[in-house]
Structure 1
Protein backbone atom coordinates (compact mmCIF):
# COMPACT_ATOMS: atom_id res chain seq x y z
CA UNK A 1 0.00 0.00 0.00
CA UNK A 2 1.34 3.43 -0.93
CA UNK A 3 1.77 6.01 1.79
CA UNK A 4 0.71 9.61 1.29
CA UNK A 5 3.19 12.50 1.20
CA UNK A 6 1.75 13.66 4.51
CA UNK A 7 2.72 10.37 6.10
CA UNK A 8 6.22 10.64 4.67
CA UNK A 9 6.90 13.98 6.36
CA UNK A 10 5.13 13.20 9.65
CA UNK A 11 7.84 13.61 12.29
CA UNK A 12 6.51 11.78 15.32
CA UNK A 13 4.09 9.22 13.90
CA UNK A 14 5.81 6.12 15.23
CA UNK A 15 9.16 4.66 14.32
CA UNK A 16 8.81 5.49 10.61
CA UNK A 17 8.82 9.25 11.23
CA UNK A 18 12.11 11.06 10.64
CA UNK A 19 14.37 11.47 13.62
CA UNK A 20 15.53 14.75 15.12
CA UNK A 21 18.20 13.11 17.29
CA UNK A 22 21.00 14.50 15.11
CA UNK A 23 19.83 18.10 15.61
CA UNK A 24 16.82 20.35 15.41
CA UNK A 25 14.57 20.69 12.36
CA UNK A 26 13.50 24.11 11.11
CA UNK A 27 10.60 24.75 8.70
CA UNK A 28 11.10 27.81 6.47
CA UNK A 29 8.56 29.31 4.07
CA UNK A 30 9.39 30.66 0.63
CA UNK A 31 6.44 33.07 0.42
CA UNK A 32 6.06 34.35 -3.14
CA UNK A 33 3.87 36.70 -5.12
CA UNK A 34 3.37 35.49 -8.67
CA UNK A 35 3.77 37.88 -11.65
CA UNK A 36 0.84 40.26 -12.09
CA UNK A 37 1.49 41.10 -15.75
CA UNK A 38 2.89 39.06 -18.62
CA UNK A 39 6.70 39.37 -18.76
CA UNK A 40 8.14 41.20 -21.75
CA UNK A 41 8.93 39.03 -24.76
CA UNK A 42 12.55 38.00 -25.10
CA UNK A 43 14.21 39.95 -27.98
CA UNK A 44 15.05 36.70 -29.79
CA UNK A 45 11.44 35.51 -29.59
CA UNK A 46 10.18 38.93 -30.71
CA UNK A 47 12.52 38.87 -33.73
CA UNK A 48 11.26 35.43 -34.73
CA UNK A 49 7.61 36.50 -34.41
CA UNK A 50 8.32 39.59 -36.53
CA UNK A 51 10.01 37.46 -39.19
CA UNK A 52 7.15 34.93 -39.10
CA UNK A 53 4.56 37.71 -39.55
CA UNK A 54 6.39 39.24 -42.51
CA UNK A 55 6.80 35.82 -44.12
CA UNK A 56 3.07 35.10 -43.87
CA UNK A 57 2.27 38.51 -45.30
CA UNK A 58 3.73 37.37 -48.63
CA UNK A 59 1.04 34.74 -49.03
CA UNK A 60 -1.96 36.34 -47.37
CA UNK A 61 -5.16 36.81 -49.31
CA UNK A 62 -5.63 40.26 -50.87
CA UNK A 63 -8.92 42.07 -50.16
CA UNK A 64 -10.31 45.18 -51.95
CA UNK A 65 -9.57 48.47 -50.23
CA UNK A 66 -13.33 49.17 -49.96
CA UNK A 67 -13.73 45.99 -47.92
CA UNK A 68 -10.95 46.89 -45.51
CA UNK A 69 -11.96 50.53 -44.99
CA UNK A 70 -14.53 49.82 -42.30
CA UNK A 71 -14.56 53.40 -40.98
CA UNK A 72 -16.80 54.53 -43.87
CA UNK A 73 -19.31 51.75 -43.29
CA UNK A 74 -19.95 52.46 -39.62
CA UNK A 75 -23.53 53.16 -38.66
CA UNK A 76 -24.68 56.34 -37.04
CA UNK A 77 -23.86 56.43 -33.35
CA UNK A 78 -21.01 53.91 -33.59
CA UNK A 79 -17.94 54.89 -31.63
CA UNK A 80 -14.58 53.48 -30.68
CA UNK A 81 -12.93 53.51 -27.27
CA UNK A 82 -9.16 53.85 -27.28
CA UNK A 83 -7.70 51.37 -24.79
CA UNK A 84 -4.82 52.68 -22.71
CA UNK A 85 -3.07 49.92 -20.74
CA UNK A 86 -1.93 50.53 -17.18
CA UNK A 87 1.78 51.32 -16.90
CA UNK A 88 4.15 48.43 -16.23
CA UNK A 89 6.37 50.68 -14.12
CA UNK A 90 4.65 51.65 -10.87
CA UNK A 91 5.41 54.34 -8.30
CA UNK A 92 6.93 51.64 -6.08
CA UNK A 93 9.33 50.76 -8.91
CA UNK A 94 10.39 54.39 -9.31
CA UNK A 95 11.10 54.79 -5.58
CA UNK A 96 12.45 51.24 -5.15
CA UNK A 97 9.93 50.62 -2.37
CA UNK A 98 10.76 47.04 -1.38
CA UNK A 99 8.03 46.99 1.25
CA UNK A 100 5.39 47.18 -1.50
CA UNK A 101 3.92 44.31 -3.49
CA UNK A 102 3.13 46.80 -6.26
CA UNK A 103 6.58 46.55 -7.86
CA UNK A 104 8.32 44.28 -10.36
CA UNK A 105 4.89 43.29 -11.65
CA UNK A 106 6.33 40.95 -14.28
CA UNK A 107 8.52 39.08 -11.76
CA UNK A 108 8.00 36.88 -8.73
CA UNK A 109 8.56 38.53 -5.36
CA UNK A 110 9.71 36.77 -2.18
CA UNK A 111 9.29 37.81 1.46
CA UNK A 112 12.41 38.21 3.60
CA UNK A 113 12.46 39.17 7.27
CA UNK A 114 15.16 40.82 9.36
CA UNK A 115 15.40 39.60 12.94
CA UNK A 116 16.42 36.66 15.08
CA UNK A 117 16.90 33.42 13.17
CA UNK A 118 17.74 29.91 14.31
CA UNK A 119 21.43 29.21 13.91
CA UNK A 120 22.43 32.89 13.75
CA UNK A 121 24.65 34.47 16.43
CA UNK A 122 22.54 35.31 19.48
CA UNK A 123 21.08 38.80 19.48
CA UNK A 124 22.28 39.59 15.96
CA UNK A 125 19.43 40.32 13.49
CA UNK A 126 19.88 38.63 10.12
CA UNK A 127 17.82 38.34 6.94
CA UNK A 128 15.87 35.10 6.73
CA UNK A 129 12.62 33.50 5.55
CA UNK A 130 9.61 33.04 7.85
CA UNK A 131 10.62 30.07 9.99
CA UNK A 132 9.85 27.98 13.04
CA UNK A 133 11.71 25.25 14.88
CA UNK A 134 9.71 22.02 14.75
CA UNK A 135 8.15 21.33 18.13
CA UNK A 136 4.98 19.26 18.39
CA UNK A 137 3.04 19.98 15.20
CA UNK A 138 1.26 17.10 13.48
CA UNK A 139 3.39 17.46 10.32
CA UNK A 140 6.30 19.56 9.17
CA UNK A 141 3.97 21.40 6.80
CA UNK A 142 1.82 22.40 9.80
CA UNK A 143 4.98 23.79 11.36
CA UNK A 144 5.61 25.85 8.19
CA UNK A 145 2.03 27.13 8.24
CA UNK A 146 2.48 28.18 11.86
CA UNK A 147 5.70 30.00 10.93
CA UNK A 148 3.99 32.06 8.21
CA UNK A 149 0.88 32.69 10.31
CA UNK A 150 2.99 34.13 13.14
CA UNK A 151 4.33 36.73 10.69
CA UNK A 152 1.27 37.76 8.67
CA UNK A 153 -1.43 36.86 11.22
CA UNK A 154 -3.83 35.10 8.83
CA UNK A 155 -3.47 32.46 6.11
CA UNK A 156 -6.72 33.22 4.24
CA UNK A 157 -4.76 34.94 1.43
CA UNK A 158 -2.13 32.24 1.06
CA UNK A 159 -1.81 28.92 -0.74
CA UNK A 160 0.73 26.26 0.27
CA UNK A 161 2.00 24.35 -2.76
CA UNK A 162 2.00 20.66 -1.82
CA UNK A 163 2.61 18.87 1.46
CA UNK A 164 6.28 18.03 0.92
CA UNK A 165 9.21 20.45 1.19
CA UNK A 166 10.65 21.91 -2.02
CA UNK A 167 14.21 21.57 -0.73
CA UNK A 168 16.36 21.34 2.37
CA UNK A 169 19.85 22.12 3.61
CA UNK A 170 21.88 20.54 6.40
CA UNK A 171 23.69 23.11 8.54
CA UNK A 172 26.88 21.79 10.12
CA UNK A 173 28.19 22.76 13.54
CA UNK A 174 30.64 25.68 13.46
CA UNK A 175 31.99 28.31 15.79
CA UNK A 176 28.84 30.42 15.22
CA UNK A 177 26.46 27.44 15.05
CA UNK A 178 26.52 25.55 18.36
CA UNK A 179 24.63 22.50 17.08
CA UNK A 180 23.82 21.07 13.62
CA UNK A 181 20.30 21.30 12.29
CA UNK A 182 18.28 20.78 9.12
CA UNK A 183 16.22 23.46 7.38
CA UNK A 184 13.28 22.41 5.18
CA UNK A 185 11.73 24.89 2.71
CA UNK A 186 8.02 24.99 1.87
CA UNK A 187 6.49 27.12 -0.88
CA UNK A 188 3.47 29.32 -0.27
CA UNK A 189 1.90 31.88 -2.62
CA UNK A 190 0.05 35.18 -2.21
CA UNK A 191 -3.62 34.92 -3.17
CA UNK A 192 -5.97 37.83 -3.96
CA UNK A 193 -4.28 40.64 -2.04
CA UNK A 194 -1.49 43.18 -2.48
CA UNK A 195 -0.78 44.04 1.15
CA UNK A 196 0.06 42.20 4.37
CA UNK A 197 0.60 43.45 7.90
CA UNK A 198 4.03 41.96 8.53
CA UNK A 199 4.96 41.53 12.21
CA UNK A 200 7.44 39.81 14.55
CA UNK A 201 10.49 41.24 12.79
CA UNK A 202 12.65 44.35 12.77
CA UNK A 203 12.28 44.87 9.04
CA UNK A 204 11.02 43.13 5.90
CA UNK A 205 11.34 43.34 2.12
CA UNK A 206 9.70 41.87 -0.97
CA UNK A 207 12.49 41.03 -3.43
CA UNK A 208 12.98 39.36 -6.81
CA UNK A 209 15.10 36.23 -7.15
CA UNK A 210 18.14 38.23 -8.27
CA UNK A 211 17.76 40.61 -5.32
CA UNK A 212 17.22 37.69 -2.94
CA UNK A 213 20.55 36.11 -3.91
CA UNK A 214 22.33 39.29 -2.79
CA UNK A 215 21.13 38.64 0.78
CA UNK A 216 22.54 35.09 0.84
CA UNK A 217 25.88 35.14 -1.03
CA UNK A 218 27.10 31.94 0.64
CA UNK A 219 23.95 29.99 -0.29
CA UNK A 220 23.43 31.68 -3.69
CA UNK A 221 24.07 28.51 -5.71
CA UNK A 222 21.63 26.53 -3.58
CA UNK A 223 18.84 29.08 -4.00
CA UNK A 224 19.52 29.45 -7.73
CA UNK A 225 18.72 25.76 -8.17
CA UNK A 226 15.83 25.61 -5.69
CA UNK A 227 13.97 28.74 -6.80
CA UNK A 228 12.62 28.49 -10.35
CA UNK A 229 11.44 31.85 -11.73
Structure 2
Protein backbone atom coordinates (compact mmCIF):
# COMPACT_ATOMS: atom_id res chain seq x y z
CA UNK A 1 0.00 0.00 0.00
CA UNK A 2 1.28 3.47 -0.93
CA UNK A 3 2.01 5.72 2.05
CA UNK A 4 0.70 9.28 2.42
CA UNK A 5 4.22 10.67 2.04
CA UNK A 6 4.69 8.94 -1.33
CA UNK A 7 1.31 10.23 -2.52
CA UNK A 8 2.30 13.80 -1.66
CA UNK A 9 5.52 13.35 -3.63
CA UNK A 10 3.95 11.71 -6.71
CA UNK A 11 0.97 14.04 -7.17
CA UNK A 12 3.12 17.11 -8.03
CA UNK A 13 5.22 14.92 -10.31
CA UNK A 14 2.13 13.66 -12.17
CA UNK A 15 0.82 17.21 -12.55
CA UNK A 16 4.16 18.34 -13.95
CA UNK A 17 4.27 15.42 -16.39
CA UNK A 18 0.71 16.03 -17.62
CA UNK A 19 1.37 19.75 -18.08
CA UNK A 20 4.57 19.08 -19.98
CA UNK A 21 2.79 16.53 -22.21
CA UNK A 22 -0.01 18.99 -23.00
CA UNK A 23 2.46 21.75 -23.85
CA UNK A 24 4.42 19.38 -26.07
CA UNK A 25 1.23 18.33 -27.86
CA UNK A 26 0.28 21.93 -28.52
CA UNK A 27 3.72 22.78 -29.82
CA UNK A 28 3.88 19.70 -32.06
CA UNK A 29 0.38 20.10 -33.49
CA UNK A 30 0.06 21.85 -36.83
CA UNK A 31 -2.00 25.06 -36.83
CA UNK A 32 -5.37 24.13 -38.32
CA UNK A 33 -8.39 26.41 -38.36
CA UNK A 34 -11.86 25.30 -37.30
CA UNK A 35 -14.89 26.83 -39.02
CA UNK A 36 -18.46 26.69 -37.67
CA UNK A 37 -21.15 26.74 -40.36
CA UNK A 38 -24.92 26.99 -39.84
CA UNK A 39 -27.52 25.07 -41.81
CA UNK A 40 -30.38 27.53 -41.32
CA UNK A 41 -33.66 25.96 -42.42
CA UNK A 42 -37.33 26.82 -42.64
CA UNK A 43 -39.59 23.87 -41.88
CA UNK A 44 -42.55 23.02 -44.18
CA UNK A 45 -45.54 25.33 -43.74
CA UNK A 46 -48.18 23.00 -45.20
CA UNK A 47 -48.55 19.24 -45.12
CA UNK A 48 -46.87 17.64 -48.15
CA UNK A 49 -49.12 15.99 -50.69
CA UNK A 50 -49.77 12.30 -50.16
CA UNK A 51 -47.94 9.99 -52.50
CA UNK A 52 -50.36 8.33 -55.00
CA UNK A 53 -49.33 4.87 -53.78
CA UNK A 54 -50.04 5.82 -50.14
CA UNK A 55 -53.37 7.40 -51.14
CA UNK A 56 -54.43 4.23 -53.00
CA UNK A 57 -53.55 2.10 -49.97
CA UNK A 58 -55.57 4.36 -47.66
CA UNK A 59 -58.57 4.10 -49.97
CA UNK A 60 -58.30 0.31 -50.04
CA UNK A 61 -57.89 0.16 -46.25
CA UNK A 62 -60.99 2.34 -45.71
CA UNK A 63 -63.16 0.25 -48.00
CA UNK A 64 -61.94 -2.96 -46.36
CA UNK A 65 -62.80 -1.64 -42.89
CA UNK A 66 -66.27 -0.59 -44.07
CA UNK A 67 -67.10 -4.22 -44.73
CA UNK A 68 -66.57 -5.18 -41.07
CA UNK A 69 -67.54 -1.98 -39.25
CA UNK A 70 -70.18 -2.02 -36.52
CA UNK A 71 -73.76 -1.50 -37.71
CA UNK A 72 -75.82 0.99 -35.69
CA UNK A 73 -79.66 1.06 -35.53
CA UNK A 74 -81.41 3.48 -37.86
CA UNK A 75 -82.99 5.27 -34.88
CA UNK A 76 -79.53 6.14 -33.54
CA UNK A 77 -78.34 7.41 -36.91
CA UNK A 78 -81.44 9.59 -37.37
CA UNK A 79 -80.90 11.25 -33.98
CA UNK A 80 -77.26 11.98 -34.72
CA UNK A 81 -78.12 13.50 -38.10
CA UNK A 82 -80.50 16.05 -36.57
CA UNK A 83 -78.04 17.16 -33.92
CA UNK A 84 -76.25 20.50 -34.28
CA UNK A 85 -78.21 21.87 -37.24
CA UNK A 86 -78.57 25.64 -37.52
CA UNK A 87 -79.03 28.55 -39.87
CA UNK A 88 -75.35 29.44 -39.99
CA UNK A 89 -73.00 28.49 -42.82
CA UNK A 90 -69.22 28.77 -42.86
CA UNK A 91 -67.58 29.52 -46.16
CA UNK A 92 -63.93 28.49 -46.19
CA UNK A 93 -61.53 28.78 -49.08
CA UNK A 94 -58.11 27.26 -48.43
CA UNK A 95 -55.03 29.25 -49.37
CA UNK A 96 -53.28 28.12 -52.55
CA UNK A 97 -50.32 25.77 -52.22
CA UNK A 98 -48.60 27.45 -55.18
CA UNK A 99 -47.62 31.02 -54.31
CA UNK A 100 -46.58 33.94 -56.47
CA UNK A 101 -42.97 33.35 -55.45
CA UNK A 102 -43.25 29.81 -56.81
CA UNK A 103 -44.54 31.07 -60.14
CA UNK A 104 -41.74 33.64 -60.50
CA UNK A 105 -39.07 31.38 -58.92
CA UNK A 106 -38.23 34.10 -56.39
CA UNK A 107 -35.55 32.38 -54.33
CA UNK A 108 -35.16 35.38 -52.04
CA UNK A 109 -38.63 34.77 -50.63
CA UNK A 110 -39.54 32.40 -47.82
CA UNK A 111 -43.08 32.22 -49.19
CA UNK A 112 -42.27 29.43 -51.66
CA UNK A 113 -42.05 25.63 -51.65
CA UNK A 114 -44.42 25.61 -48.69
CA UNK A 115 -44.38 21.81 -48.43
CA UNK A 116 -40.56 21.59 -48.46
CA UNK A 117 -37.70 22.67 -46.22
CA UNK A 118 -35.78 25.76 -47.31
CA UNK A 119 -32.12 26.47 -46.56
CA UNK A 120 -30.26 29.79 -46.49
CA UNK A 121 -27.23 30.21 -48.75
CA UNK A 122 -24.99 33.28 -48.95
CA UNK A 123 -22.89 34.55 -51.83
CA UNK A 124 -19.69 36.25 -50.74
CA UNK A 125 -16.26 35.63 -49.30
CA UNK A 126 -15.85 32.33 -47.47
CA UNK A 127 -12.91 30.89 -45.57
CA UNK A 128 -10.78 28.62 -47.74
CA UNK A 129 -12.17 29.88 -51.05
CA UNK A 130 -9.55 30.06 -53.84
CA UNK A 131 -8.17 33.56 -54.50
CA UNK A 132 -10.73 35.05 -52.09
CA UNK A 133 -13.38 34.93 -54.81
CA UNK A 134 -17.04 35.15 -53.75
CA UNK A 135 -18.69 31.73 -53.59
CA UNK A 136 -21.95 30.26 -52.35
CA UNK A 137 -21.67 29.11 -48.76
CA UNK A 138 -23.54 28.79 -45.46
CA UNK A 139 -23.31 31.37 -42.66
CA UNK A 140 -19.94 30.67 -41.06
CA UNK A 141 -17.27 31.95 -38.70
CA UNK A 142 -13.74 30.86 -37.88
CA UNK A 143 -13.51 29.63 -34.30
CA UNK A 144 -11.61 32.17 -32.22
CA UNK A 145 -12.19 32.48 -28.48
CA UNK A 146 -15.83 31.42 -27.97
CA UNK A 147 -16.70 29.18 -25.05
CA UNK A 148 -18.01 26.42 -27.31
CA UNK A 149 -18.19 25.69 -31.00
CA UNK A 150 -21.95 26.19 -30.90
CA UNK A 151 -21.40 29.72 -29.55
CA UNK A 152 -19.23 30.31 -32.58
CA UNK A 153 -22.05 29.07 -34.84
CA UNK A 154 -24.53 31.37 -33.09
CA UNK A 155 -22.16 34.27 -33.64
CA UNK A 156 -21.93 33.38 -37.34
CA UNK A 157 -25.71 33.43 -37.77
CA UNK A 158 -26.04 36.59 -35.66
CA UNK A 159 -23.59 38.44 -37.90
CA UNK A 160 -25.83 37.68 -40.88
CA UNK A 161 -29.30 38.19 -39.38
CA UNK A 162 -28.52 40.67 -36.61
CA UNK A 163 -31.04 39.03 -34.26
CA UNK A 164 -31.53 35.41 -33.14
CA UNK A 165 -34.89 35.81 -31.40
CA UNK A 166 -36.65 33.97 -34.24
CA UNK A 167 -34.16 31.12 -34.49
CA UNK A 168 -33.72 27.80 -32.70
CA UNK A 169 -30.49 25.80 -32.64
CA UNK A 170 -31.12 22.06 -32.69
CA UNK A 171 -28.78 20.52 -30.11
CA UNK A 172 -25.29 21.44 -29.02
CA UNK A 173 -23.35 19.01 -31.22
CA UNK A 174 -22.64 19.49 -34.93
CA UNK A 175 -24.61 17.44 -37.44
CA UNK A 176 -21.59 16.79 -39.64
CA UNK A 177 -18.15 17.99 -40.61
CA UNK A 178 -15.83 18.25 -43.59
CA UNK A 179 -12.03 18.17 -43.68
CA UNK A 180 -10.19 20.29 -46.24
CA UNK A 181 -6.53 19.45 -46.79
CA UNK A 182 -3.94 21.42 -48.71
CA UNK A 183 -3.52 19.87 -52.16
CA UNK A 184 -0.69 19.95 -54.65
CA UNK A 185 -2.83 21.83 -57.17
CA UNK A 186 -3.63 24.55 -54.60
CA UNK A 187 -0.74 24.79 -52.11
CA UNK A 188 -1.79 28.28 -50.96
CA UNK A 189 -5.16 27.13 -49.61
CA UNK A 190 -5.17 26.39 -45.85
CA UNK A 191 -6.11 23.09 -44.26
CA UNK A 192 -9.12 23.37 -41.97
CA UNK A 193 -12.18 21.58 -40.60
CA UNK A 194 -15.74 22.81 -41.11
CA UNK A 195 -18.43 21.77 -38.61
CA UNK A 196 -22.14 22.16 -39.46
CA UNK A 197 -24.80 23.13 -36.91
CA UNK A 198 -28.55 23.10 -37.56
CA UNK A 199 -30.78 26.06 -36.77
CA UNK A 200 -34.45 26.58 -37.65
CA UNK A 201 -36.72 29.53 -38.40
CA UNK A 202 -39.30 30.24 -35.68
CA UNK A 203 -42.47 32.27 -36.41
CA UNK A 204 -41.02 34.53 -39.10
CA UNK A 205 -41.41 34.72 -42.86
CA UNK A 206 -38.84 37.40 -43.74
CA UNK A 207 -35.27 38.19 -42.65
CA UNK A 208 -32.96 41.10 -43.39
CA UNK A 209 -29.97 39.09 -44.55
CA UNK A 210 -26.76 41.08 -44.61
CA UNK A 211 -22.98 40.73 -44.75
CA UNK A 212 -23.11 39.14 -48.20
CA UNK A 213 -23.44 40.10 -51.87
CA UNK A 214 -26.47 37.91 -52.45
CA UNK A 215 -28.55 35.22 -50.76
CA UNK A 216 -31.14 32.59 -51.66
CA UNK A 217 -33.60 30.27 -49.91
CA UNK A 218 -33.45 26.90 -51.66
CA UNK A 219 -34.77 23.37 -51.27
CA UNK A 220 -32.47 20.41 -50.81
CA UNK A 221 -32.54 19.54 -54.52
CA UNK A 222 -31.74 23.14 -55.45
CA UNK A 223 -29.02 23.32 -52.80
CA UNK A 224 -27.16 20.38 -54.34
CA UNK A 225 -26.92 22.35 -57.59
CA UNK A 226 -24.84 25.02 -55.81
CA UNK A 227 -22.34 22.44 -54.47
CA UNK A 228 -21.73 19.90 -57.24
CA UNK A 229 -18.42 18.76 -55.72
CA UNK A 230 -19.93 18.15 -52.26
CA UNK A 231 -23.36 16.99 -53.49
CA UNK A 232 -22.91 13.45 -52.18
CA UNK A 233 -21.93 14.68 -48.71
CA UNK A 234 -24.83 17.14 -48.37
CA UNK A 235 -27.28 14.59 -49.76
CA UNK A 236 -26.41 12.26 -46.88
CA UNK A 237 -26.15 14.93 -44.18
CA UNK A 238 -29.40 16.78 -44.96
CA UNK A 239 -32.55 14.76 -44.33
CA UNK A 240 -35.66 16.32 -45.86
Q: TM-score, normalised by structure 1?
A: 0.85
Looking at structure 1, the residues matched to 180 and 205 of structure 2 have their Cα atoms a distance apart, in angstroms, of 34
CA contact (8 A) 2:130 2:189 kept: no
Corresponding residue for residue 189 of structure 1: 200
1:103 corresponds to which of 78, 91, 112: 112
Residue 35 of structure 1: which of 6, 21, 44 is its match? 44
Distance 1:116 1:191 in 2: 27
CA-based RMSD: 2.2
Structure 2, unmatched stretches of 5+, are 1-21
**Per-residue deviation, residues 188-220 of structure 1 (Å, max 9, x unmatched):** 000110000000101000000010001111111
| CA positional deviation for 1:63 | 5.9
| Residue pairs, 1:39-118, within 5 angstroms | 39-60=48-69, 61=71, 64=74, 67=78, 70=81, 78-118=87-127
Once the two structures are TM-superposed, the CA of residue 140 in structure 1 deviates from its matched residue by: 0.8
CA–CA separation in structure 2 for the residues paired with 1:133 and 1:74: 63
Deviation at 1:96, TM superposition (A): 0.7
Moved more, 169-178 or 28-37: 169-178
Gaps of 5+ in 1: 1-14
C-alpha distance 117-58 of structure 1, shift in aligned 2 (>3 A): same
Please list the CA deviations of residues 25-68 of structure 1 after superposition, one character each: whole Å capped at 9, or x if unmatched: 10000000001111111111111100011112223426649828
TM-score, normalising length: structure 2:
0.81
CA distance in structure 2 between the partners assigned to 1:89 and 1:192 by the alignment: 20
Tell me the CA shift for residue 85 of structure 1.
1.3
User: Structure 1 pair 64/217, CA: closer, same or farther in 2 (3 Å)?
Assistant: same
CA contact (8 A) 2:126 2:132 kept: no
**For 1:130, which of 139, 143, 153 is the aligned residue?**
139
